[in-house]
Amino acid sequence: MNYNYLKLHERMNWKNSIALRLVQHKPTQFTYYETNNSCIEVLDLVKLDSKPFGSISEKILSEVFQLGPRSSSQNDGTKNGKKIEIKCARYWANKDDCVWQHLEPNHDYDYVLLALLDFQDWKIWGIQKSILMGELVDKKIVTIQGKQGCWVKKSDILPYLTPIHSIQDLDDSLITCPSNPYTPSKNSIIAKNGFRAETFICSQENIKESFETYFKSPIKQLKRIHGKKFDVQITFENGSETTIQNKDGDGKGRGWSVDRRKPEGFNNDLLTTLLKTVCLKQGTEKPDISNIISKEVINMCMFGVKEEDYPKYFTHTISNKNTGNIISINICPTDKLIPFIYNSLYNVMEPKRTCVHLSPICYLQRKGGGKKDANPDNIQMKFKFTKEIESLFIPIFKQTTPL
């Protein structure tokens, strides 16, 4: 007997390894459907790879909802004169959630059917493209996916969706859906450019090294964050973290939009009255609002409600509008920016025409927009990137090779 082989075989008995057992017992997408007693037809779709799953599912739903032929390769079908896009998803492993991906903001469609393969059937919702790529992009519920369109999580978008249980439900939803080809609003274009800049901050070559030089610490990960007042989270090799809010473009002229909400969303009755009178022309009262309230508004709109959630740094990027590549990055600590903004505040807010000015660099105005813009009577805060503000930032990255 070859004892060397026997000893090696005993050592190499990987089939009983702990690591393998952990993999064997790890929940998968298929086992999640299987343990929830899914029907055989559903399991057949769960087994498919992503691309054939999407293609076959779109054909199934087009047939079920009796859609007409697509008008171009930029949609999946037509109904009642409206162009319809279909996106299908499956549950994540062991979780009641999913992601719909590759939603193209510039493709030619009017309405989107978002479908989730449930255990016995499909769950289907609908939404107008003008809302999906307008309001929900502005609110960062819909996330730019680099060159692959956008993605959105079910748990985030569900409150904005209309359940579709039948052909009649779809017909009813299409009645109020605008049928004109969608042109991105100015707000959506600006938001998209901002989201794209944040994506490139996390992925573009040499940017990580520039942050490491500035922070004097090796970086483990740069991660884009959704739904916070900071846009990028930096995790260092030593386990510590910091956060960044980024602003892309020159920010001069009318400034950047940093927040949008209803007039009542500022949680101050006097300010709500002033905003409705000045910005919305819905009254005559113009109460005086002190800079104590202005500081609260600044904190709420620019930094966040809780101090522990404030972005630790602000960055200013200039990016190539065609490629998205970052050309330059300047940075300023938040604890340096906050005192400057506070010191610029007027003693009381100053109403001017249709705006309420907190300072020469911060003001509130009606969001506005045409039919394609959702919630035009929301109030947005604008932040001007003046030369004085710019002087607080120091350069840490400049693209030296052709883009």
Q: What is the CATH number of the domain that holds 172?
A: 3.40.600
388 in a domain, yes or no? yes
CA angle 295, 387, 137 (to 5 degrees): 60
CA distance 322 to 117: 37
Amino acid at 143: T
Query: How far is C-alpha 223 from the geometric centre of its chain's CA atoms?
Result: 13
User: Residue 182: its pLDDT value, please?
Assistant: 46
Residue 324 and residue 215 share a domain: yes
> β-strand 326-333 against 350-352: which pairing, if any?
unpaired
CA distance 148 to 51: 14
User: Residue 399: its pLDDT value, please?
Assistant: 83
15 in a domain, yes or no? no
| Cα Rg of the chain (Å, integer) | 26
- The verdict on pTM exceeding 0.95 is no
6 in a domain, yes or no? no
| Of the candidates 52, 53, 50, the residue with the CA atom closest to the CA atom of residue 42 | 53
CB 200 within 8 A of CB 324: yes
Amino acid at 95: K
CA dist list (Å): 48 to 41, 54, 97: 12, 9, 19
In the three-class reduction of DSSP (H, G, I as helix; E, B as strand; rest coil), residue 221 is classed as strand
Summarize pLDDT for 14-33 with one digit per residue, the tens.
677 777 666 666 778 999 99
Residue 169 and residue 43 share a domain: yes
Residue 200 and residue 334 share a domain: yes
User: Residue 263: its pLDDT value, please?
Assistant: 94
**Low-confidence residues of the chain: pLDDT under 50:** 1, 3, 6, 8, 182, 184, 189-190
CB 123 within 8 A of CB 151: no
Considering its fold, how many domains does the chain have in total?
2
| Of the candidates 356, 338, 373, 343, the residue with the CA atom closest to the CA atom of residue 266 | 356
User: Residue 392: its pLDDT value, please?
Assistant: 97
204 in a domain, yes or no? yes
Residue 287 and residue 302 share a domain: yes
User: Residue 93: its pLDDT value, please?
Assistant: 83
DSSP 138: H
Q: Both tokens of residue 235?
A: 């995790």
Phi, psi of 297 (to 5 degrees): -65, -45
